Amino acid sequence: MTTDDAVTERPPAPSAEVPPTADGRAPHPLVGLVSVTGARRPRNCDRAAHEVVGGVVAGAVVDGSGSTPESARLAADAAPVAARVTARRRSPVHGIATASELCFDPDDPLSGATGAIVAAVSRPGLRWLVGWAGDSTATAVRDDGRAHRVTTPHTYGQKLRARGEQESVARTHDHRLVNDLARVGWYGVSGVEVTKPTPVLVLASDGLKITVEQVAGIAADHPADPGACARALVSAAQAAGSGDDITVLVLHHPDHPGDGSGSERTTEVERDGT
């Protein structure tokens, strides 16, 4: 994922898993998280974080633009800020807006690191609030087993689709963001409430290049283990040929059947020791 700059090819790098959250904490039983470095990336610039507080679960995924150390640091800083504020304010819009302050340089707002972000928080009745800026995604898996993409990417390619351009042309511009963390102050944050009963919400960076039908099928295969679900989703994207960093944060709603804050089940996420 890049901004409006052209994609820069980078030498292959082995895939490696990173600590599951920006602060290294193990996930809550309601949360599954896996993040891997893309085969064409020198470092993983994705980060994710979660908060479970006051009866709600919240999470955020940040996909830093490019593969620079600055982008990796921004993602590591922005993800926990977004998740924490989203949980405490019960608002992903507040969470993303607060995290966007980390990008701000009054002399040149676009001079530093930036990235795409998606955040969400649970609401009573198996509902969710979702906010985003950029092309990170949220996919809702409903209680009837069907899945649908909640987010619409803020990319030039998507703008071309909306204008009726052919898909073969539009997809060549999908790497060009028209909104991101650095531009939230100018263009705002998109937000939506998922009102149909949704036990599972999947937040991901744009490296998760699989269909919503695949997401639904994998979620159905792992109904009580968000960690296993996250690992399977990442494996499916890798098998489909995604060479980008891939980060998947699977959130189970606190009202999810069979789940709950009193559960003794834990979620395992592999790490590479970093």
Whether residue 274 is contained in a domain is answered as no
**Which strands make up the sheet holding 246-252, listed edge to edge?**
31-36, 246-252, 200-204, 137-141, 147-149
Q: What pLDDT, on a 0 to 100 scale, did the predictor assign at position 17?
A: 41
Q: Has residue 73 been placed in a domain?
A: yes
DSSP 102: G
Widest CA span in the chain: 52
Report the alpha-carbon distance of residue 137 to residue 133 in Å, rounded. 10
- Predicted pLDDT of residue 106: 64
- Per-residue pLDDT of 17-34, as tens digits, reads 434 444 445 557 899 999
**Which residue type occupies 80?**
P
Q: Is residue 4 part of a domain?
A: no
Alpha carbons 144 and 26: distance in angstroms, whole number: 30
3-class SS of residue 70: helix
Burial class (CB in 10 A: 0-12, 13-18, 19+), 167: exposed
Give the mean model confidence (pLDDT) for residues 226-237: 97
**More confidently predicted of 26 and 114:** 114
Does the residue 266 lie in any domain? Answer: no
pLDDT at 111: 57
Residue-wise pLDDT for 26-66, tens only, equals: 557 899 999 999 988 899 999 999 999 989 999 999 999 99
Tokens of 109: 């707002």
Q: What pLDDT score does 261 carry? A: 42
| 272, part of any domain | no
pLDDT (0 to 100) of residue 183: 94
Range of the domain at 104: 31-252
Query: What's the pLDDT at 29?
Result: 82
Tell me the pLDDT tens digit for each residue of 186-231: 999 999 999 999 999 999 999 999 999 999 999 999 999 999 999 9
Could you tell me the pLDDT band of residue 11, with boundaries at 50, 70 and 90?
Answer: very low
Structural contact between residues 120 and 59, judged by C-beta atoms closer than 8 angstroms: yes
Mean pLDDT of 180-190: 95
CB neighbours of 130 closer than 8 A, spacing ≥ 6? 92, 118, 119, 120, 138, 150, 151, 191, 192, 193, 194, 201
The pLDDT value recorded for residue 182 is 93
In a domain, 161, yes or no: yes
**pLDDT value of position 130:** 98
120-167 confidence digits (pLDDT tens): 999 999 999 999 999 999 999 999 999 999 999 999 998 999 999 999
HEC per residue, 75-95: HHHHHHHHHHHHHHHCCHHHH
Q: Report if residue 152 sits inside a domain.
A: yes
Q: What is the DSSP letter of 244?
A: S
Q: How far apart are CA 141 and CA 266, in angstroms?
A: 21
The whole-angstrom separation of Cα 65 and Cα 74 is: 10
pLDDT-derived band at 108 (thresholds 50, 70, 90) equals low
Which residues are CB-contacts of 190 (< 8 A; sequence separation ≥ 6)?
A: 131, 132, 133, 151, 152, 154, 179
CATH number at residue 142: 3.60.40.10
If one counts the domains in the chain, the total is: 1
Confidence of residue 256 (pLDDT cuts 50, 70, 90): confident
Q: Let me know if residue 197 belongs to a domain.
A: yes
Phi/psi at 227 (nearest 5 deg)? Answer: -65, -45
